[in-house]
Structure formats: structure tokens, C-alpha cells
Amino acid sequence: MDEAKRGVEAWKEHTTAFDRVRSIAEAVDRPRTAKYIAAEAAVSQTTAHEHLKRLAEMDVIRAVDGEDATRYEPDPLYARFRALRRLITDHDHEELLELKSDLQEQIEEFQEQYEVGSPETLREQAAETETAEETREYRKDASDWELALYHLSIANDAINNYREYADLDNRLHA
């Protein structure tokens, strides 16, 4: 048995089918069919459909109508609130401010390195690069820049509403 199959067998042994479907459905980078998720989660298509329906009802994922089949993707609002909760739980107000400055620094470095104001503009420049390596680098940096902007927006939300969210969560780090 090769290493990949041993890994799948161990995953199946230590997790439920629901947890495997949820793990895959929350991690997809674009809407995927139940067939795709079933294969990746090592479950039957029927099992995947049942769990995907439940996850959609829980607003963990959302169903997207496709031409050939319904596809599933992470619910962006759910994902954002999970990230926000982790920030409030794991960081006090000062640590959140430090995280904000780190993210701002990353963004400023991209702006200075490429002399552009947005990841979208950097992606446009990727179309004009001369080597495959350079194109990959531009695309990766544009993605990293977008991710830093996303994390910054969540950090700002956590900072601006820290007391309210922490009080709601009963985990105030004051």
C-alpha cells in the first residue's frame, strides 16, 4: 500500500464521514460538485450529498446551482466569523494592534516592490511578464496581497469591536 492510501485509511479511521466532508467542503478554492467532494473525502456520493445538505442548512457552506450539477463552496460569512472569533479568542487588544501593523507592513512591501496600488493591478502586470517563473511569482504575490488585505479587514473588525465581541464571547483579555 502506498503512502497516500495509508494516509487516507488513517484519516478514515480517525475521523467521521461528516468531518471529512466538512473538511473538504470548507477548504475548496472554488465551487465543487458532491462527486468531487465525495472522492476527496473518501465517502460515497450519497453520503456526501447528505452531509453537504446538512452543512448548507447550518450555513457552513452554500450550494451554487451549476449547469450540470449543484456545486458547494465555503460560506464566506461563516468563514469570516470563524476567523473573527479566533482573533478575539486568541489575542488581546494590543496583540490585535500588533497583527494589524504586521499586515499593513506586508501590504506596504508589496506596494513598494511592485510600485502598484492593488493586487488587481499586479495581476494585470503578470500578463506582461517575460518568464513563467516571473508570472508565477506575480500571481502568488497578488494572492498573498489579497489574503493580507482580507486578514487586515478582519483584524480591523476585531479591533474596532473588541470589547463588544469579547463581552459576547465572555473571554475578555483586558
Sketch the domain layout of the chain as residue ranges. 3-74, 78-169
Among residues 40, 9, 6, which one has the least CA distance to residue 23? 40
Summarised one tens digit per residue, pLDDT across range 101-151 is 999 999 999 999 999 999 999 999 999 999 999 999 999 999 999 999 999
Q: Report the top-level CATH class of 3-74.
A: mainly alpha
22 exposed, middle or buried (CB, 10 Å; 0-12, 13-18, 19+)? buried
Structure pTM?
0.80
H/E run at residue 56: helix 45-57
Confidence of residue 66 (pLDDT cuts 50, 70, 90): confident
Residue 165 has pLDDT above 80, yes or no: yes
CA distances (Å), 23 to each of 33, 80, 97, 116, 154, in order? 15, 16, 31, 36, 22
